[in-house]
Chains A and B, each alone.
Chain A
Amino acid sequence: MDEKELLRQLAKDIRISVRDEDMPSLCQVYHTFLEHIACLEKIETEGVEPLVFPFDVEIHELREDEVDEVYDIDDLLKNAKNVKDNQILVPKVVE
Protein backbone atom coordinates (compact mmCIF):
# COMPACT_ATOMS: atom_id res chain seq x y z
CA MET A 1 0.00 0.00 0.00
CA ASP A 2 1.20 3.46 -0.88
CA GLU A 3 2.41 5.47 2.15
CA LYS A 4 -0.19 8.22 1.81
CA GLU A 5 -2.90 5.69 1.24
CA LEU A 6 -1.81 3.85 4.40
CA LEU A 7 -1.93 7.03 6.48
CA ARG A 8 -5.36 7.90 5.08
CA GLN A 9 -6.61 4.40 5.97
CA LEU A 10 -5.24 4.69 9.51
CA ALA A 11 -6.86 8.12 9.89
CA LYS A 12 -10.15 6.65 8.73
CA ASP A 13 -9.84 3.74 11.20
CA ILE A 14 -9.40 6.09 14.12
CA ARG A 15 -12.02 8.42 12.72
CA ILE A 16 -10.03 11.61 12.24
CA SER A 17 -10.02 13.66 9.09
CA VAL A 18 -6.72 14.64 7.47
CA ARG A 19 -6.58 17.56 5.05
CA ASP A 20 -4.53 17.15 1.87
CA GLU A 21 -2.29 20.08 2.83
CA ASP A 22 -1.42 18.30 6.10
CA MET A 23 -0.27 15.18 4.30
CA PRO A 24 3.38 16.19 3.66
CA SER A 25 4.01 17.07 7.32
CA LEU A 26 2.22 13.90 8.43
CA CYS A 27 4.47 11.85 6.15
CA GLN A 28 7.50 13.54 7.68
CA VAL A 29 6.37 12.66 11.22
CA TYR A 30 5.70 9.14 10.02
CA HIS A 31 9.26 8.82 8.66
CA THR A 32 10.76 10.01 11.93
CA PHE A 33 8.56 7.50 13.73
CA LEU A 34 9.76 4.69 11.46
CA GLU A 35 13.38 5.68 12.19
CA HIS A 36 12.69 5.32 15.91
CA ILE A 37 11.13 1.95 15.34
CA ALA A 38 14.16 0.88 13.25
CA CYS A 39 16.40 1.74 16.25
CA LEU A 40 14.20 -0.35 18.53
CA GLU A 41 14.25 -3.26 16.11
CA LYS A 42 18.05 -3.42 16.37
CA ILE A 43 17.77 -4.47 20.02
CA GLU A 44 18.28 -8.20 20.50
CA THR A 45 15.10 -9.59 22.13
CA GLU A 46 15.55 -13.28 21.40
CA GLY A 47 14.47 -15.28 24.46
CA VAL A 48 13.46 -12.16 26.43
CA GLU A 49 10.01 -12.39 27.97
CA PRO A 50 7.83 -9.27 27.59
CA LEU A 51 7.92 -7.17 30.75
CA VAL A 52 4.50 -5.85 31.74
CA PHE A 53 5.10 -4.89 35.35
CA PRO A 54 8.44 -3.63 36.67
CA PHE A 55 8.23 -5.92 39.69
CA ASP A 56 7.13 -9.51 39.80
CA VAL A 57 4.32 -9.04 42.29
CA GLU A 58 0.87 -10.44 42.84
CA ILE A 59 -1.72 -8.67 44.91
CA HIS A 60 -4.48 -10.25 46.98
CA GLU A 61 -6.94 -7.44 47.51
CA LEU A 62 -10.08 -6.81 45.50
CA ARG A 63 -12.42 -3.84 45.89
CA GLU A 64 -15.58 -4.44 47.96
CA ASP A 65 -18.77 -3.99 45.94
CA GLU A 66 -19.78 -0.58 47.29
CA VAL A 67 -21.22 2.48 45.61
CA ASP A 68 -19.58 5.89 45.83
CA GLU A 69 -20.61 9.33 44.62
CA VAL A 70 -21.22 9.62 40.90
CA TYR A 71 -19.73 12.16 38.56
CA ASP A 72 -21.73 15.38 38.53
CA ILE A 73 -23.61 15.45 35.23
CA ASP A 74 -22.73 19.11 34.58
CA ASP A 75 -19.04 18.32 35.00
CA LEU A 76 -19.39 15.22 32.87
CA LEU A 77 -20.97 17.13 29.98
CA LYS A 78 -18.77 20.22 30.38
CA ASN A 79 -16.13 19.10 27.89
CA ALA A 80 -18.59 17.87 25.28
CA LYS A 81 -18.84 19.99 22.18
CA ASN A 82 -22.50 19.18 21.66
CA VAL A 83 -25.10 17.96 24.13
CA LYS A 84 -28.69 16.93 23.52
CA ASP A 85 -31.10 15.65 26.20
CA ASN A 86 -28.20 15.24 28.65
CA GLN A 87 -26.43 12.97 26.18
CA ILE A 88 -23.24 13.66 24.28
CA LEU A 89 -24.00 14.35 20.66
CA VAL A 90 -21.45 13.20 18.11
CA PRO A 91 -21.55 12.87 14.33
CA LYS A 92 -23.27 9.69 13.23
CA VAL A 93 -20.78 6.88 13.76
CA VAL A 94 -22.46 4.02 11.94
CA GLU A 95 -22.97 3.74 8.21
Chain B
Amino acid sequence: MYEAVIGIEVHCELKTKSKMFSMAPVTFGCPPNTQVHVIDMAMPGTLPAVNKKAVEMAIRVCHALHMDIDDLLRFDRKNYYYADLPKGFQITQYYHPIGKNGYLDIEVEGETFKIPIERVHLEEDTAKMTHNDHYTLIDYNRAGIPLIEIVTKPQLHTSQQVVAYLEALRLILIYTDVSDAVMAEGSMRCDVNISLRQSHDSILGEKVEIKNLNSLVNIQKAIDYEIERQTDLLQKKLPIARQTRRFDEKTQTTVVMREKQSLLDYRYYPEVNILPVRLDKQWIQVIQKQLPQLPEQRRQRYQMQYHLSLQDTMMLLSHKDLSDFYDQVVSIYPHYQTICHWLIGDVRAYLRQYQKKVSELLLVQDFAELMHMLEMKKISSKQTKQILEFMILEKKSPYVLMERYHIQQVSDEQLLSQYIEEVLHDYPQQVADYYAGKHQICSFFVGQVMKKTKGQANPQKTNELLKCLLEKRKV
Protein backbone atom coordinates (compact mmCIF):
# COMPACT_ATOMS: atom_id res chain seq x y z
CA MET B 1 0.00 0.00 0.00
CA TYR B 2 1.12 3.52 -0.74
CA GLU B 3 0.51 6.69 1.22
CA ALA B 4 -0.55 9.84 -0.61
CA VAL B 5 1.09 13.11 0.43
CA ILE B 6 -0.95 16.14 -0.59
CA GLY B 7 -0.33 19.88 -0.44
CA ILE B 8 -2.94 22.48 -1.32
CA GLU B 9 -2.57 25.96 -2.80
CA VAL B 10 -5.66 28.15 -2.70
CA HIS B 11 -5.95 31.45 -4.53
CA CYS B 12 -8.69 33.69 -3.23
CA GLU B 13 -9.86 36.96 -4.79
CA LEU B 14 -10.37 39.68 -2.20
CA LYS B 15 -13.56 41.73 -2.37
CA THR B 16 -11.96 45.13 -2.21
CA LYS B 17 -13.43 48.05 -4.18
CA SER B 18 -10.24 48.66 -6.16
CA LYS B 19 -7.41 46.49 -7.43
CA MET B 20 -4.23 45.45 -5.60
CA PHE B 21 -1.95 48.12 -7.08
CA SER B 22 -4.29 50.33 -9.11
CA MET B 23 -7.55 52.24 -8.66
CA ALA B 24 -9.52 50.23 -11.24
CA PRO B 25 -12.70 48.71 -9.81
CA VAL B 26 -12.91 45.07 -8.79
CA THR B 27 -15.93 43.58 -10.57
CA PHE B 28 -17.20 40.30 -11.96
CA GLY B 29 -18.99 39.79 -15.27
CA CYS B 30 -18.48 43.29 -16.76
CA PRO B 31 -17.91 43.74 -20.53
CA PRO B 32 -14.31 42.84 -21.47
CA ASN B 33 -11.53 45.39 -20.97
CA THR B 34 -13.74 48.03 -19.32
CA GLN B 35 -12.41 47.66 -15.74
CA VAL B 36 -8.76 48.37 -16.40
CA HIS B 37 -6.37 51.07 -15.21
CA VAL B 38 -3.21 52.28 -16.96
CA ILE B 39 -1.23 50.65 -14.12
CA ASP B 40 -2.80 47.26 -14.94
CA MET B 41 -1.67 47.68 -18.55
CA ALA B 42 1.89 48.54 -17.45
CA MET B 43 1.87 51.83 -19.32
CA PRO B 44 5.26 53.57 -19.14
CA GLY B 45 5.65 55.85 -16.16
CA THR B 46 2.99 54.18 -14.01
CA LEU B 47 3.82 52.92 -10.55
CA PRO B 48 1.98 50.46 -8.30
CA ALA B 49 0.40 51.63 -5.02
CA VAL B 50 -0.51 49.00 -2.41
CA ASN B 51 -4.20 48.79 -1.49
CA LYS B 52 -4.65 49.23 2.28
CA LYS B 53 -7.91 47.26 2.43
CA ALA B 54 -6.30 44.24 0.73
CA VAL B 55 -3.55 44.28 3.37
CA GLU B 56 -6.19 44.52 6.11
CA MET B 57 -8.07 41.55 4.64
CA ALA B 58 -4.88 39.48 4.42
CA ILE B 59 -4.19 40.26 8.10
CA ARG B 60 -7.71 39.10 9.00
CA VAL B 61 -7.19 35.76 7.26
CA CYS B 62 -3.73 35.35 8.78
CA HIS B 63 -5.16 35.95 12.24
CA ALA B 64 -8.00 33.49 11.68
CA LEU B 65 -5.41 30.90 10.60
CA HIS B 66 -3.21 31.52 13.69
CA MET B 67 -0.27 32.82 11.63
CA ASP B 68 2.75 34.92 12.51
CA ILE B 69 2.20 38.27 10.79
CA ASP B 70 5.18 40.09 9.28
CA ASP B 71 4.71 43.79 9.97
CA LEU B 72 7.24 44.75 7.28
CA LEU B 73 5.35 44.41 4.02
CA ARG B 74 7.59 43.55 1.06
CA PHE B 75 6.87 42.49 -2.50
CA ASP B 76 8.80 40.61 -5.19
CA ARG B 77 8.62 40.11 -8.92
CA LYS B 78 7.84 36.73 -10.41
CA ASN B 79 9.17 37.00 -13.95
CA TYR B 80 7.44 35.14 -16.72
CA TYR B 81 6.70 36.06 -20.26
CA TYR B 82 3.01 35.59 -20.91
CA ALA B 83 0.31 37.96 -22.13
CA ASP B 84 -1.93 37.58 -19.07
CA LEU B 85 0.16 40.22 -17.28
CA PRO B 86 1.40 43.05 -19.50
CA LYS B 87 4.31 43.93 -17.19
CA GLY B 88 6.06 40.64 -17.94
CA PHE B 89 6.03 39.81 -14.24
CA GLN B 90 3.57 39.33 -11.40
CA ILE B 91 3.97 41.30 -8.18
CA THR B 92 3.83 38.79 -5.34
CA GLN B 93 5.42 38.09 -1.95
CA TYR B 94 7.95 35.34 -2.53
CA TYR B 95 10.65 36.04 0.02
CA HIS B 96 8.56 37.61 2.78
CA PRO B 97 4.93 36.42 2.89
CA ILE B 98 2.65 38.48 5.14
CA GLY B 99 1.71 35.36 7.14
CA LYS B 100 3.75 32.30 8.15
CA ASN B 101 3.35 29.13 10.22
CA GLY B 102 -0.37 28.84 10.83
CA TYR B 103 -2.82 25.98 11.03
CA LEU B 104 -6.44 25.04 10.53
CA ASP B 105 -8.23 22.32 12.45
CA ILE B 106 -10.50 20.07 10.41
CA GLU B 107 -12.73 17.16 11.28
CA VAL B 108 -13.07 14.00 9.21
CA GLU B 109 -15.36 11.23 10.42
CA GLY B 110 -15.19 12.45 14.00
CA GLU B 111 -11.38 12.73 14.04
CA THR B 112 -9.67 16.12 14.29
CA PHE B 113 -6.61 16.94 12.18
CA LYS B 114 -4.39 20.00 12.51
CA ILE B 115 -3.48 21.09 8.97
CA PRO B 116 -0.29 23.18 9.03
CA ILE B 117 -0.35 26.24 6.80
CA GLU B 118 3.04 27.31 5.55
CA ARG B 119 2.30 30.76 4.19
CA VAL B 120 -0.25 33.36 3.18
CA HIS B 121 0.88 35.96 0.70
CA LEU B 122 -0.58 38.85 -1.25
CA GLU B 123 -0.37 39.12 -5.01
CA GLU B 124 -2.28 40.23 -8.10
CA ASP B 125 -4.55 38.21 -10.36
CA THR B 126 -3.86 37.80 -14.08
CA ALA B 127 -6.00 38.56 -17.14
CA LYS B 128 -8.60 36.08 -18.29
CA MET B 129 -7.61 34.27 -21.46
CA THR B 130 -10.11 32.43 -23.62
CA HIS B 131 -8.49 29.88 -25.89
CA ASN B 132 -10.23 29.01 -29.14
CA ASP B 133 -9.11 26.61 -31.84
CA HIS B 134 -6.81 29.05 -33.61
CA TYR B 135 -6.46 32.09 -31.41
CA THR B 136 -6.59 33.39 -27.84
CA LEU B 137 -8.63 36.35 -26.56
CA ILE B 138 -7.46 38.47 -23.63
CA ASP B 139 -9.69 40.37 -21.21
CA TYR B 140 -7.69 42.44 -18.69
CA ASN B 141 -10.59 43.13 -16.29
CA ARG B 142 -9.27 40.50 -13.88
CA ALA B 143 -5.63 41.61 -14.15
CA GLY B 144 -4.60 43.22 -10.88
CA ILE B 145 -7.49 42.03 -8.66
CA PRO B 146 -6.06 41.40 -5.18
CA LEU B 147 -5.39 37.77 -4.38
CA ILE B 148 -4.22 35.94 -1.33
CA GLU B 149 -2.54 32.61 -1.79
CA ILE B 150 -2.82 30.16 1.08
CA VAL B 151 -0.36 27.26 0.98
CA THR B 152 -0.49 24.21 3.26
CA LYS B 153 2.45 22.04 4.12
CA PRO B 154 2.27 18.71 2.27
CA GLN B 155 0.62 16.99 5.19
CA LEU B 156 -2.78 15.90 3.94
CA HIS B 157 -3.30 12.30 2.96
CA THR B 158 -6.81 11.71 1.65
CA SER B 159 -9.34 13.41 -0.61
CA GLN B 160 -11.73 13.58 2.37
CA GLN B 161 -9.17 15.61 4.33
CA VAL B 162 -8.68 17.94 1.37
CA VAL B 163 -12.41 18.54 0.99
CA ALA B 164 -12.83 19.12 4.75
CA TYR B 165 -9.88 21.56 4.68
CA LEU B 166 -11.29 23.47 1.71
CA GLU B 167 -14.76 23.65 3.26
CA ALA B 168 -13.31 24.95 6.54
CA LEU B 169 -11.08 27.43 4.72
CA ARG B 170 -13.97 28.64 2.56
CA LEU B 171 -16.00 29.40 5.69
CA ILE B 172 -13.07 31.34 7.16
CA LEU B 173 -12.75 33.44 4.01
CA ILE B 174 -16.48 34.17 4.14
CA TYR B 175 -16.70 34.83 7.90
CA THR B 176 -13.65 37.13 7.88
CA ASP B 177 -15.55 38.97 5.15
CA VAL B 178 -12.66 39.01 2.69
CA SER B 179 -14.18 37.07 -0.20
CA ASP B 180 -17.32 35.45 -1.58
CA ALA B 181 -15.15 32.37 -2.11
CA VAL B 182 -17.30 31.00 -4.92
CA MET B 183 -15.36 28.25 -6.67
CA ALA B 184 -17.66 28.21 -9.70
CA GLU B 185 -16.98 31.93 -10.29
CA GLY B 186 -13.26 31.57 -9.71
CA SER B 187 -13.09 33.77 -6.60
CA MET B 188 -11.63 30.71 -4.85
CA ARG B 189 -9.34 28.47 -6.90
CA CYS B 190 -7.46 25.41 -5.87
CA ASP B 191 -4.35 23.58 -7.06
CA VAL B 192 -3.44 20.21 -5.58
CA ASN B 193 0.03 18.63 -5.42
CA ILE B 194 0.11 14.87 -4.97
CA SER B 195 2.90 12.39 -4.61
CA LEU B 196 2.96 8.86 -3.27
CA ARG B 197 5.37 7.06 -1.00
CA GLN B 198 5.65 3.48 0.12
CA SER B 199 5.48 4.14 3.84
CA HIS B 200 5.48 7.05 6.25
CA ASP B 201 9.27 7.34 6.40
CA SER B 202 10.22 6.47 2.83
CA ILE B 203 11.19 8.90 0.07
CA LEU B 204 8.46 10.81 -1.75
CA GLY B 205 7.70 9.95 -5.35
CA GLU B 206 7.59 12.45 -8.19
CA LYS B 207 5.11 15.31 -7.61
CA VAL B 208 2.08 15.80 -9.84
CA GLU B 209 0.16 19.05 -9.79
CA ILE B 210 -3.56 19.17 -10.60
CA LYS B 211 -4.75 22.60 -11.68
CA ASN B 212 -8.02 24.35 -12.55
CA LEU B 213 -10.22 22.51 -10.10
CA ASN B 214 -13.51 24.37 -9.78
CA SER B 215 -15.69 22.36 -7.41
CA LEU B 216 -15.27 20.28 -4.29
CA VAL B 217 -16.84 17.28 -6.02
CA ASN B 218 -14.30 17.46 -8.84
CA ILE B 219 -11.43 17.94 -6.40
CA GLN B 220 -12.39 14.77 -4.55
CA LYS B 221 -12.76 12.82 -7.79
CA ALA B 222 -9.48 14.18 -9.22
CA ILE B 223 -7.51 13.23 -6.10
CA ASP B 224 -9.03 9.76 -5.86
CA TYR B 225 -8.33 9.16 -9.54
CA GLU B 226 -4.77 10.46 -9.28
CA ILE B 227 -3.97 8.27 -6.26
CA GLU B 228 -5.28 5.27 -8.16
CA ARG B 229 -3.34 6.18 -11.31
CA GLN B 230 -0.04 6.67 -9.47
CA THR B 231 -0.53 3.52 -7.38
CA ASP B 232 -1.10 1.55 -10.55
CA LEU B 233 2.09 2.93 -12.15
CA LEU B 234 4.16 2.20 -9.04
CA GLN B 235 2.83 -1.33 -8.78
CA LYS B 236 3.83 -1.92 -12.39
CA LYS B 237 7.25 -0.45 -11.55
CA LEU B 238 6.70 2.33 -14.09
CA PRO B 239 8.01 5.85 -13.51
CA ILE B 240 5.73 8.71 -12.49
CA ALA B 241 6.39 11.78 -14.62
CA ARG B 242 6.59 15.20 -13.04
CA GLN B 243 3.56 16.81 -14.66
CA THR B 244 0.85 19.39 -14.42
CA ARG B 245 -2.52 17.75 -15.03
CA ARG B 246 -6.14 18.89 -15.05
CA PHE B 247 -9.40 17.15 -14.26
CA ASP B 248 -11.43 16.25 -17.34
CA GLU B 249 -15.13 16.21 -16.50
CA LYS B 250 -16.11 14.20 -19.57
CA THR B 251 -13.88 11.25 -18.82
CA GLN B 252 -13.77 11.83 -15.03
CA THR B 253 -9.98 11.43 -15.15
CA THR B 254 -6.93 13.66 -14.88
CA VAL B 255 -5.17 14.49 -18.15
CA VAL B 256 -1.74 15.99 -18.87
CA MET B 257 -1.57 19.77 -19.34
CA ARG B 258 2.19 20.02 -19.54
CA GLU B 259 5.29 18.06 -18.66
CA LYS B 260 7.45 19.65 -16.02
CA GLN B 261 11.01 18.74 -16.87
CA SER B 262 12.42 20.98 -14.19
CA LEU B 263 11.21 23.79 -12.03
CA LEU B 264 10.44 26.92 -14.02
CA ASP B 265 12.90 29.64 -13.17
CA TYR B 266 10.86 32.72 -12.34
CA ARG B 267 13.96 34.75 -11.42
CA TYR B 268 12.29 36.20 -8.34
CA TYR B 269 13.75 39.42 -7.06
CA PRO B 270 12.49 42.28 -4.87
CA GLU B 271 9.93 44.62 -6.43
CA VAL B 272 11.91 47.83 -6.77
CA ASN B 273 8.87 50.04 -7.33
CA ILE B 274 7.39 49.39 -3.89
CA LEU B 275 9.40 50.46 -0.89
CA PRO B 276 9.08 48.26 2.20
CA VAL B 277 5.99 49.30 4.18
CA ARG B 278 6.21 49.18 7.98
CA LEU B 279 2.71 48.36 9.23
CA ASP B 280 1.53 50.04 12.40
CA LYS B 281 1.37 47.36 15.13
CA GLN B 282 -1.61 49.07 16.74
CA TRP B 283 -3.48 48.98 13.42
CA ILE B 284 -2.81 45.23 13.20
CA GLN B 285 -4.10 44.75 16.74
CA VAL B 286 -7.29 46.69 16.00
CA ILE B 287 -7.92 44.52 12.93
CA GLN B 288 -7.41 41.38 15.01
CA LYS B 289 -9.72 42.61 17.78
CA GLN B 290 -12.47 43.56 15.35
CA LEU B 291 -12.52 40.15 13.72
CA PRO B 292 -16.06 38.71 13.87
CA GLN B 293 -16.67 35.39 15.59
CA LEU B 294 -15.23 32.66 13.37
CA PRO B 295 -17.08 29.53 12.19
CA GLU B 296 -15.34 27.25 14.69
CA GLN B 297 -16.32 29.47 17.63
CA ARG B 298 -19.89 29.68 16.35
CA ARG B 299 -19.97 25.91 15.89
CA GLN B 300 -19.00 25.40 19.52
CA ARG B 301 -21.59 27.91 20.73
CA TYR B 302 -24.39 26.35 18.65
CA GLN B 303 -23.62 22.85 19.82
CA MET B 304 -22.55 23.38 23.43
CA GLN B 305 -24.80 26.27 24.48
CA TYR B 306 -27.77 25.99 22.14
CA HIS B 307 -27.73 22.18 21.84
CA LEU B 308 -28.19 22.18 18.07
CA SER B 309 -27.30 18.97 16.26
CA LEU B 310 -24.07 18.87 14.25
CA GLN B 311 -26.07 18.64 11.02
CA ASP B 312 -28.23 21.69 11.84
CA THR B 313 -25.16 23.60 13.02
CA MET B 314 -23.27 22.93 9.80
CA MET B 315 -26.31 23.86 7.74
CA LEU B 316 -26.55 27.24 9.53
CA LEU B 317 -22.81 27.88 9.32
CA SER B 318 -22.63 27.16 5.62
CA HIS B 319 -24.77 30.28 4.98
CA LYS B 320 -23.16 33.19 6.80
CA ASP B 321 -26.12 35.52 6.33
CA LEU B 322 -28.43 32.87 7.83
CA SER B 323 -26.07 32.32 10.74
CA ASP B 324 -25.82 36.10 11.35
CA PHE B 325 -29.61 36.40 11.19
CA TYR B 326 -30.01 33.45 13.57
CA ASP B 327 -27.68 35.10 16.10
CA GLN B 328 -29.72 38.31 15.96
CA VAL B 329 -33.09 36.53 16.34
CA VAL B 330 -31.98 34.37 19.27
CA SER B 331 -30.57 37.44 21.00
CA ILE B 332 -34.17 38.76 21.15
CA TYR B 333 -36.01 35.50 21.55
CA PRO B 334 -33.79 32.64 22.72
CA HIS B 335 -35.70 29.63 21.41
CA TYR B 336 -32.67 28.14 19.74
CA GLN B 337 -33.97 24.97 18.19
CA THR B 338 -37.30 26.20 16.86
CA ILE B 339 -35.66 29.21 15.24
CA CYS B 340 -32.90 27.08 13.72
CA HIS B 341 -35.47 24.61 12.42
CA TRP B 342 -37.47 27.33 10.64
CA LEU B 343 -34.41 29.12 9.26
CA ILE B 344 -32.72 26.09 7.73
CA GLY B 345 -36.09 24.76 6.52
CA ASP B 346 -38.69 27.14 5.14
CA VAL B 347 -36.62 30.33 5.16
CA ARG B 348 -33.70 28.73 3.33
CA ALA B 349 -36.11 27.46 0.68
CA TYR B 350 -37.31 31.05 0.12
CA LEU B 351 -33.70 32.28 -0.11
CA ARG B 352 -33.08 29.77 -2.87
CA GLN B 353 -36.35 30.67 -4.60
CA TYR B 354 -35.73 34.43 -4.56
CA GLN B 355 -31.90 34.25 -4.77
CA LYS B 356 -31.67 36.82 -1.99
CA LYS B 357 -30.07 37.24 1.39
CA VAL B 358 -32.26 36.65 4.43
CA SER B 359 -31.82 40.27 5.56
CA GLU B 360 -33.36 41.35 2.24
CA LEU B 361 -36.48 39.26 2.86
CA LEU B 362 -37.15 39.44 6.59
CA LEU B 363 -36.70 41.74 9.57
CA VAL B 364 -35.13 40.25 12.68
CA GLN B 365 -37.82 41.67 14.98
CA ASP B 366 -40.68 40.36 12.78
CA PHE B 367 -39.23 36.89 12.56
CA ALA B 368 -38.68 36.79 16.33
CA GLU B 369 -42.35 37.77 16.81
CA LEU B 370 -43.50 35.04 14.42
CA MET B 371 -41.52 32.46 16.38
CA HIS B 372 -42.98 33.81 19.63
CA MET B 373 -46.54 33.46 18.25
CA LEU B 374 -45.81 29.88 17.25
CA GLU B 375 -44.26 28.96 20.59
CA MET B 376 -47.16 30.57 22.48
CA LYS B 377 -49.51 28.45 20.34
CA LYS B 378 -51.28 31.50 19.00
CA ILE B 379 -50.75 30.04 15.54
CA SER B 380 -50.19 26.54 14.26
CA SER B 381 -47.23 25.34 12.26
CA LYS B 382 -49.28 25.55 9.09
CA GLN B 383 -50.37 29.10 9.90
CA THR B 384 -46.74 30.03 10.62
CA LYS B 385 -45.89 28.93 7.09
CA GLN B 386 -48.77 31.04 5.72
CA ILE B 387 -47.75 34.15 7.65
CA LEU B 388 -44.09 33.67 6.75
CA GLU B 389 -45.02 33.71 3.08
CA PHE B 390 -47.08 36.90 3.53
CA MET B 391 -44.21 38.50 5.51
CA ILE B 392 -41.86 37.90 2.60
CA LEU B 393 -44.34 39.11 0.00
CA GLU B 394 -45.79 42.09 1.85
CA LYS B 395 -42.98 43.10 4.24
CA LYS B 396 -45.42 43.50 7.15
CA SER B 397 -45.19 42.35 10.75
CA PRO B 398 -46.80 38.99 11.60
CA TYR B 399 -49.41 40.63 13.86
CA VAL B 400 -50.59 42.92 11.08
CA LEU B 401 -50.80 39.97 8.69
CA MET B 402 -52.58 37.80 11.22
CA GLU B 403 -55.33 40.41 11.52
CA ARG B 404 -55.44 41.22 7.81
CA TYR B 405 -55.96 37.60 6.80
CA HIS B 406 -57.95 36.56 9.92
CA ILE B 407 -55.36 33.95 10.76
CA GLN B 408 -55.52 32.72 14.30
CA GLN B 409 -55.56 29.47 16.06
CA VAL B 410 -58.80 28.29 17.66
CA SER B 411 -57.79 26.86 21.02
CA ASP B 412 -61.04 27.54 22.85
CA GLU B 413 -62.09 24.16 24.27
CA GLN B 414 -65.82 24.82 24.16
CA LEU B 415 -65.72 25.90 20.54
CA LEU B 416 -63.45 23.05 19.50
CA SER B 417 -65.64 20.50 21.33
CA GLN B 418 -68.63 21.81 19.41
CA TYR B 419 -66.86 21.25 16.07
CA ILE B 420 -65.71 17.79 17.13
CA GLU B 421 -69.25 16.77 18.14
CA GLU B 422 -70.48 17.88 14.73
CA VAL B 423 -67.84 15.80 12.95
CA LEU B 424 -68.56 12.72 15.05
CA HIS B 425 -72.25 13.12 14.29
CA ASP B 426 -71.55 13.38 10.53
CA TYR B 427 -69.37 10.24 10.38
CA PRO B 428 -71.01 7.43 12.43
CA GLN B 429 -69.31 4.64 10.47
CA GLN B 430 -65.84 6.05 11.20
CA VAL B 431 -66.79 6.39 14.88
CA ALA B 432 -67.78 2.73 14.89
CA ASP B 433 -64.44 1.89 13.26
CA TYR B 434 -62.65 3.71 16.07
CA TYR B 435 -64.44 1.70 18.72
CA ALA B 436 -63.61 -1.46 16.77
CA GLY B 437 -59.95 -0.66 17.43
CA LYS B 438 -59.03 1.42 14.37
CA HIS B 439 -57.49 4.26 16.40
CA GLN B 440 -55.57 5.76 13.50
CA ILE B 441 -58.92 7.11 12.26
CA CYS B 442 -58.38 9.99 14.75
CA SER B 443 -56.30 11.87 12.16
CA PHE B 444 -59.32 11.74 9.82
CA PHE B 445 -61.51 13.42 12.47
CA VAL B 446 -58.85 16.08 13.17
CA GLY B 447 -58.67 16.72 9.43
CA GLN B 448 -62.43 17.25 9.28
CA VAL B 449 -62.27 19.71 12.20
CA MET B 450 -59.49 21.58 10.41
CA LYS B 451 -61.68 21.72 7.32
CA LYS B 452 -64.62 23.15 9.28
CA THR B 453 -62.42 25.79 10.94
CA LYS B 454 -60.58 26.61 7.69
CA GLY B 455 -57.34 25.38 9.15
CA GLN B 456 -57.55 27.49 12.29
CA ALA B 457 -58.14 24.79 14.90
CA ASN B 458 -55.20 24.03 17.17
CA PRO B 459 -54.41 20.48 15.97
CA GLN B 460 -52.81 19.36 19.21
CA LYS B 461 -55.72 20.59 21.30
CA THR B 462 -58.23 19.11 18.85
CA ASN B 463 -56.55 15.74 19.09
CA GLU B 464 -56.60 15.79 22.89
CA LEU B 465 -60.26 16.82 23.07
CA LEU B 466 -61.25 14.31 20.38
CA LYS B 467 -59.80 11.42 22.37
CA CYS B 468 -61.55 12.67 25.53
CA LEU B 469 -64.91 12.96 23.79
CA LEU B 470 -64.63 9.55 22.11
CA GLU B 471 -63.82 7.91 25.44
CA LYS B 472 -66.71 9.75 27.11
CA ARG B 473 -69.13 8.55 24.39
CA LYS B 474 -67.96 4.98 24.91
CA VAL B 475 -69.11 5.13 28.51
Q: Which residues of A are interface residues toward B (Cβ below 8 A)? A: 13-15, 52-53, 57-68, 70-71, 73, 76-77, 82, 84-95
Contacts and interface: CB of A to CB of B under 8 A. Distances in A.
B34 interface: yes
A53 B54 CA distance: 24
A52 B273 CA distance: 10
Given A67-B25, A87-B137, A95-B258, 9 more contacts: A15-B82, A63-B51, A67-B23, A71-B38, A76-B33, A84-B135, A86-B32, A90-B136, A90-B137
B277 interface: yes
Contact of B275 (A13, A59, A68, A71): A59
B284 to A, nearest CB: 12
Q: Is the interface of A mostly helix, strand, loop or mixed?
A: loop
Contact of B52 (A53, A62, A71, A86): A62
B65 interface: no
A58 B275 contact: yes
Nearest to A59: B275
Which of A53, A76, A86, A87 is the most central at the interface, judged by chain B CB atoms within 10 Å of its CB? A87
A58 B50 CA distance: 14
Interface stretch (B125-133, B319-327, B398-406): B125-133
Contacts of A52: 269-270, 272
A90 B138 contact: yes
Which of B18, B33, B140, B272 is the most central at the interface, judged by chain A CB atoms within 10 Å of its CB? B33
Contacts of A86: 31-34
**Size class of the contact patch on chain B:** 35 or more
A35 to B, nearest CB: 22
Interface of B: 16-18, 23-25, 31-38, 40-41, 49-55, 72, 81-83, 129-140, 258, 269-270, 272, 275-278, 280
A9 to B, nearest CB: 12
Contacts of B34: 70, 73, 86
A71 B131 CA distance: 24
A62 B270 CA distance: 18
Contacts of B25: 67, 70
Contact of A68 (B23, B33, B129): B23
B288 to A, nearest CB: 17
Nearest to B38: A71
A70 B272 contact: no
Given A65-B17, A92-B136, A77 B33 contact: yes
B17 A90 contact: no
B110 to A, nearest CB: 42
B247 to A, nearest CB: 17
A13 B41 contact: no
Contacts of A15: 81-82
B155 to A, nearest CB: 32
Given A52-B270, A60-B280, A93-B131, A67 B33 contact: no
27 contacts: A13-B81, A15-B81, A52-B270, A58-B276, A58-B277, A59-B275, A62-B277, A63-B49, A66-B17, A66-B23, A68-B23, A68-B37, A70-B25, A71-B24, A71-B37, A76-B36, A86-B31, A86-B33, A87-B32, A87-B33, A87-B130, A87-B138, A89-B136, A92-B132, A92-B133, A92-B136, A93-B136
Contacts of A77: 33
B37 A92 contact: no
A94 B136 contact: yes
B135 A92 contact: yes
A76 B136 contact: no
A63 B137 contact: no
Which of A52, A59, A63 is the most central at the interface, judged by chain B CB atoms within 10 Å of its CB? A63
Nearest to B276: A58
Contacts of A89: 135-138
Contacts of A87: 32-33, 130, 137-139
A63 B51 CA distance: 5
A60 B136 contact: no
Nearest to B258: A95
Nearest to B74: A52
Contacts of B24: 67-68, 70-71
Contact of B137 (A59, A64, A65, A84): A84
